[in-house]
Each structure stands twice: as structure tokens, then as C-alpha cells.
Amino acid sequence: MNLILLGPPGAGKGTQAARLVEHHGMRQLSTGDMLRAAVAAQTPVGLRAKAVMDAGELVSDEIVSALIDAELTAMGESVGAIFDGYPRTAAQAEQLDGILAAHGRELDRVIELDVDEDELVRRIVGRYSCATCGAGYHDEFQRPSVSGVCDKCGSTQFKRRKDDNEETVRTRMAEYRAKTAPILPFYEGRGLVARVDGMAPIDEVTAAIESILAGD
Ligand code: AP5
Ligand code: MG
């Protein structure tokens, strides 16, 4: 199974991808996570990407497609892939077709998480994650069961993303509207798109995605 999760910043792509990984043993390929790791490690890609990401703009198509290609090369052929935050432009969508073909994979589904933009700002500004294992949380919507302690690994250290401030979020949303949303018809024409109400509670969104995948 090869699946794209498409939706604006804060739509819940990362949250839902983590659940699919847990339930189906698939692999989450998040270009945002890969780029943040490259920035933290100060690799040449990270050094080029940092300012672009901090401004909420898009990193070049060549960089992100090369990251995806390298991850697919490193992973087992039988492991399903969840593309989270990729592709994000028409050029990336075309590059992904070529990459999948080269790896003998086929795209099974594009799930669009449909959300209201004002809610997204609330979601993003309240988001944080465990500094040790990366588990995601939210000040209001997804708190750890014991305050200040990660449910998954017990760590007490948490972090917030540098681009999670209101101004940068607005730029990220404008980028989504201008460059990413227009790729939907490319996949709609192939009958691959299923739309899910991303405004529903997290468990309900998961259930909706599971029922789409079960029907495939
Ligand atoms: P990236 O890391 O991909 O960020 P994004 O697309 O802006 O999306 P987010 O990660 O912010 O949101 P999400 O949909 O994963 O939401 P989440 O599940 O965390 O990209 C960052 C940057 O990297 C880009 O701006 C760009 O510079 C660069 N980049 C990355 N990929 C690129 C590419 N392909 N091409 C070019 N540049 C690229 O949820 C958000 C919060 O809401 C969480 O706290 C969660 O707990 C909560 N939540 C989730 N679902 C619900 C729900 N149903 N109800 C209530 N709360 C919820
Ligand atoms: Mg994410």
C-alpha cells in the first residue's frame, strides 16, 4: 500500500500517519521531518533548507524528491509507504510518479484532510512534541495522560517547532493554497482521491481513513 496524506499545515497528516504506522506497520515518509532532521544535523541540505522553512516557504522540488527517493531505496520493498507532506507541487507529483515506478510501487490512495483554516492556527500554535521520541501532543486537544510526562517514553522534555507561529503559519497556508491544492485534480482524474473531514476528533478521522482503506 502506498498512500499520500494531503492537507494544509495542521490538518493532522503527521497525527494520522503515526496511527497508520502503529496499526499497519507502514512507514511514514514526512519530508518536513526529514528536513528538520537535516537542519538539526547541519547537513548541506539542512543548511540550504533552514531559512526557507523558517519563512514558511517551500524547499526546492529537487531536494525533497531526492530525500523521498533515498528513503524508498533504504526501505524494504514490501513495506507500505505513507507520504506525509509530499508531494506539494505539480513538479513533485510528477517526480513521485517516476520514483514510484523506479521502485516498482504503485500509488493506491490520496487521502485529503479537509479542514477550516482558523482552526488550523489554533492547532498549530498549541502543538508540541516529545524531545526524546517525537510523540505529538497539543495544549488543548491531545495532552499526555500525566501532565509533563510523555505517554510513549516517559520523557519530561518537550519541544515546539520554530515555524509554528501565527505569521509563518499564514505563509505556509498561502503556499498550500497556491501550490499544493492545485495538484488534487491530477489525482482526482485517476480516481485516487478520498476526502475526509479533518475537523472531526482525532479518533473519528482515524476511523474514516481506516474505513476507506478497508474498502479498497
Ligand atoms: P511539514 O512538516 O510537512 O509541515 P506542514 O505541512 O505545514 O504540516 P504540519 O506538520 O504543520 O501539520 P500536520 O498536518 O502534520 O498536522 P499534525 O498532525 O501535526 O513542513 C514544514 C516545512 O518543511 C514546510 O513549510 C516547507 O518549508 C518544508 N517542506 C516539507 N515538505 C516539503 C515539500 N514536499 N516540498 C517543499 N518544502 C517542504 O497536527 C497538528 C496539531 O493538531 C497537533 O498538535 C495535533 O495533536 C492536533 N490535531 C491533529 N488532528 C486533530 C484533530 N482531528 N482534532 C484536533 N486536534 C488535532
Ligand atoms: Mg506534520
Closest residue by Cα to residue 111 from 43, 53, 184:
184
Looking at 48, 105, 160, 195, which residue is catalytic? 160
For the segment 6-28, the average pLDDT, to the nearest whole number, is 95
Residue located nearest, by CA, to atom 1 of ligand 1:
32
Please report the pLDDT score of residue 118 as a whole number.
Answer: 85
Q: What digits encode the pLDDT tens for the residues 87-121?
A: 999 999 999 999 999 999 999 999 999 999 888 99
For the segment 20-45, the average pLDDT, to the nearest whole number, is 96
172 C-alpha to center of ligand 1: Å?
10
| pLDDT, averaged across the chain | 96
164 C-alpha to center of ligand 1: Å?
9
Closest atom of ligand 1 relative to the 13 alpha carbon: 14
Q: Is 14 in the pocket of ligand 1 (CB under 6 A)?
A: yes
Q: Is 88 in the pocket of ligand 1 (CB under 6 A)?
A: yes
For the segment 44-55, the average pLDDT, to the nearest whole number, is 96
Q: Is 161 a catalytic residue?
A: no
* pLDDT above 90 for 84: yes
Residue located nearest, by CA, to atom 41 of ligand 1:
123
Q: How confident is the model at residue 76 (pLDDT cuts 50, 70, 90)?
A: confident
84 C-alpha to center of ligand 2: Å?
7
Global pTM reads 0.94
Q: DSSP string spanning the chain?
A: -EEEEE-STTSSHHHHHHHHHHHH--EEEEHHHHHHHHHHTT-HHHHHHHHHHHTT-PPPHHHHHHHHHHHHHHS-TTS-EEEES---SHHHHHHHHHHHHHTT----EEEEEE--HHHHHHHHHTEEEETTT--EEETTTB--SBTTB-TTT----EE--TT-SHHHHHHHHHHIIIIIGGGHHHHHTTT-EEEEETTS-HHHHHHHHHHHHHH-
Q: Where on the phi/psi map is residue 158: left (φ > 0), alpha (ψ -120 to 50), or beta?
A: beta
Neighbours of 118 (CB within 10 A): 8
